[in-house]
Structure 1
């Protein structure tokens, strides 16, 4: 066994004297790391505390504390008149002194030592850029949110003694108070005659759809989606192993006759649609087609998964009520988001369904989100109760309507002859199509060179269509002016 003083402790024990972690614990943890990785094998004799303190330039009392910690955790044993030794199992091939390298102890493994499944389906489609100006597919402006006021709601709830006891409990069922107020809110605003027992509170639309797909879809099932549909949802369906069939869309939404033809040819399990504003084209599903789809669902027995991702944002007239409001046979599962106009931390998703299905959904939620966020839900419930949601939404809708109008005017002025678009009745994005196709990927690259980022998820191009979905929610007038200036300049160069 090598002499304890020959082991280069100072080469692999590094002390951060500015750290909040005490020095003795830093040293003890690094020694334990060295033992676990075989650099200090069984039987290694540690130097005396005086020698050890001199090697590392620490106080002897600190060295004593290090050895006490190692002993308390069961890594060493001391013998009178002999010293302190590493305890454990003998190693077949003890490591040599030249293996003591700092990077061997400090670096985390770059790869795992076992095999695992990989999935190209779930590759992250989102991109990021350092460009000053960015187009997205329609998100609210965080600068408009009253974060201070919203935080006061949460802080007030957290300080109440009656609420503090819930912090020690798991509650995936969510706040009964919030569900009670949300069910009333949805009844009044969306015509859904539900109770709190018909609600499941989730973190997001994607979580809602994942739970629905886990319960209701099996590999090989046929799911109908729009010919252009939301990519994240498509990824969830593909991961579930279903067969997706695309249904064409026109200015009145999904074409019902094509749905009927699909039902005649196949056993359809589910139809996924965003009828309020179809994603990505923003068109609204007509009232007549809504009724026809409900009749088809009853006739052929398929599920309608209705995603109202931006129901809160409507400008010119009252929105058409959801399909779920007219469903009398339990064929529609309704999902949506609440508080989308608020700060991100105050948003939540939800599922509306009959109670017997809700029982099964709660089982799945209890596995993937056992703790929930009952205090935040309580805050949202109080914001509904006090009318804060309606006041804020009314104020923000006016701003978003002005931004929609401004973007429409800019597009018409700068690219009117090259594009076709309709001013949307709601939502936070405009769908524009090119009259003469241009290379959209090349347009995106040229705009990025001029400090405008256009993610590939906004670009839709194939033999039949050249289009972009442009979000306007998070751009003020000045930002919009500059962005469209860059956008139109490069578009004209490529036309």
Structure 2
């Protein structure tokens, strides 16, 4: 007989019931080959005596093993290890991993792609000069809560608590269509809109639909890494063109088009990421002409269009597109709050239909309740009121922040005052070590990015985005004082 008393150890202080402990340890003895297929187990009375347990505890343990299929009962004979359990041959100790390692590393190959290794930005507690996040404290939470509750009183429960349209809630798509047509000069219906969980999903779906391995995608030499990651994951080759104070160099793009086929051009024309410069009007016209001539698609990410401070902003490329060459992407993440995981893709209906089919295999649908609630906020005018209020607040914070940078960090930083958006692209003196500055600022209670992720290969911009919108004017003053201390 096996030494069951030493093989099965009972922890009477554990929250796990004793019969479960016995059952799991018996299963483990079977898995590692100590108990072989068809081997007879001790009777319940005998094992209870060996382990100093109540017989009913052992009966319950055996019943658990029978239910899970590790054991089988033979009438008039007793309990046995199930005959179907495969034979286990002991492996050399050298190839076995400790249990803790098995929780960390799989026993099979998983490709780790270097370009996917990118820090995840979160809203930091305390003072921050972030990437350009909105102030969550301004979000219309009470209005959203009321609209959310109204979902439970609306319509047919079978309909609105079941599966919905993969393209998104019709109310939100309809309201978004109206909003985009009024504010951005688009000409859409709800059939031109797909609701996504943020703009990144829209970029991912577009990449999967448009790109094949080997296709060429063109971006600015400074650009958003989140988009580039998706292009590379789709198997595309990413090439870049220069970016100056007027946006991407479209003549450099034209030269590329003459040399090779281009499948997709990714742009953030309203406020180029990360430098916030606006794509000049003549370059916008030229970019659309190139798309029509060479047949590439334009993926336009308009991540913060709602906040423009001087006058009516220049309309998106999509508003002047008459050939269906532009896929327009936006979200409410920067307009309201990052927790509002609502983005949208605007494109010809054939493209929207294909993106919706792709969306089904990764995410059957979005959040109908949230989408309904946000649609109600558009319909009631609450979101428009929020945009106006936030715009006034952010404009005042931009003024104050620019004054602080000018008065407190003279000769140490250079920046251009943006016409809109939620961050200022700031270049630091070349003698300043940005990584060290970010670390010292963090120890002093201020979060800011080192900006290293914005450097094109082989270049050192020594700049970063300093987000001002998520901080009050008093918080901005404290932040600049800390920044002044750590760079001097």
Q: TM-score range by the shorter chain?
A: 0.7 to 0.9
Say if 1:126 and 1:457, in contact at 8 Å, map to a contact too. Answer: no
Determine whether 1:86 maps to 2:85.
Answer: no
Deviations 1:29-82 (A, max 9, x none): 565455445454434544554566677787655544443333233322234564
- Counterparts of residues 285-324 of structure 1 (less than 5 Å): 285-324=279-318
Counterpart in 1 of 2:7?
A: 8
Matched-pair contact (CA < 8 Å) for 1:199–1:350: yes
2:394 is equivalent to residue 395 of structure 1? no
Correspondence 1:326-337 to 2 at 5 A: 326-337=320-331
Between the aligned partners of 1:409 and 1:51, the Cα distance in structure 2 is: 85
1:303–1:92: structure 2 CA closer, same or farther, 3 Å change rule? closer
Q: Displacement of 1:327 after TM fit?
A: 0.6
Asked if 1:469 is matched to 2:468, the reply is no
TM-superposed CA distance for 1:136, in Å, is 1.9
Q: CA deviation at 1:432?
A: 1.4
The change in CA–CA distance for 1:95 and 1:6 in structure 2 (over 3 A counts) is farther
Moved more, 164-173 or 193-202: 164-173
Note if 1:346 corresponds to 2:340: yes
1:340–1:347 CA contact under 8 A, matched in 2: no
Query: TM-score scaled to structure 1, two decimals?
Result: 0.86
1:418 to partner: Cα distance: 2.5
Q: If the length of structure 2 is used for normalisation, what is the TM-score? A: 0.87
**Among candidates 465, 470, 475, match of residue 479 of structure 1:** 475
Further displaced range: 472-481 or 379-388: 472-481
Q: How many residues align?
A: 482
* Aligned pair partner of 1:192 in 186, 189, 205: 186
Deviations 1:2-41 (A, max 9, x none): 15x4353225x77743x7xx77567645654554454544
- For the Cα contact (< 8 Å) 1:24–1:63, is it kept in 2? yes
For 1:342-390, what per-residue CA distance to the aligned partner results, in whole angstroms no more than 9, with x for missing partners?
3433331111111122222222111111243222212221121111211
Q: CA deviation at 1:253?
A: 1.8
Partner of 2:248 in structure 1? 254
- C-alpha distance in structure 1 between counterparts of 2:184 and 2:430, whole Å: 40
- Measure, in 2, the Cα distance between the counterparts of 1:343 and 1:30: 49
- Could you say if the C-alpha distance between residues 104 and 121 of structure 1 is closer, same or farther in structure 2, counting changes exceeding 3 Å? closer
Alpha carbons 1:136, 1:470 under 8 Å: kept: yes
**Could you tell me whether the CA contact under 8 Å between 2:426 and 2:465 is conserved in 1?**
yes
Deviates more, 1:31-40 or 1:200-209: 31-40
Q: Secondary structure at the match of 1:121?
A: helix
Gaps (5+ residues) in structure 2?
A: none
**1:455 and 2:454 matched:** no
Tell me if structure 1 keeps the 8 A contact 2:451–2:463: no
Do 1:10 and 1:55's aligned partners in 2 also have CA atoms closer than 8 Å?
no
**Conserved? CA contact 1:157–1:163, under 8 Å:** no
State the distance in 1 between where 2:411 and 2:388 align: 35
Cα separation, partners in 2 of 1:465 and 1:81, compared to 1, 3 Å: closer
Matched, 1:408 2:402: yes
Deviates more, 1:35-44 or 1:309-318: 35-44
Separation of aligned partners in 2, 1:430 and 1:225? 21
The whole-number CA distance in structure 1 between the counterparts of 2:65 and 2:346 is 55
Cα distance in 2, alignment partners of residues 60 and 342 from structure 1: 63
1:8-87 equivalences under 5 Å are: 8-11=7-10, 16-17=14-15, 28=23, 31-32=26-27, 34-38=29-33, 40-49=35-44, 61-79=56-74, 82-87=77-82
CA contact (8 A) 1:138 1:470 kept: yes
Shift of 1:470: 0.8
- Offset at residue 148 of structure 1 (A): 4.4
Structure 1 residues 144 and 369: CA distance shift in structure 2, 3 A = same
Three-state SS of the structure 2 residue aligned to 1:368 is: coil
The 1:74–1:159 alpha-carbon spacing in structure 2 relative to 1, beyond 3 Å, is: farther
Contact 2:425 2:464 in 1 (8 A): yes
In the alignment, the residues of structure 2 paired with residue 281 and residue 107 of structure 1 have an alpha-carbon distance, to the nearest angstrom, of 43
CA drift of 1:234 comes to 1.5
Q: Say whether the 8 Å CA contact 1:137–1:458 is kept in structure 2.
A: no
- Decide whether aligned partners of structure 1 residues 67 and 170 sit closer, same or farther in structure 2, where only a CA change above 3 A counts: farther
Q: 1:380 to 1:307 in 2, by over 3 A?
A: same
- State the Cα distance separating 1:91 from its structure 2 match: 6.1
Q: Distance in 2 between matches of 1:239 and 1:300?
A: 24
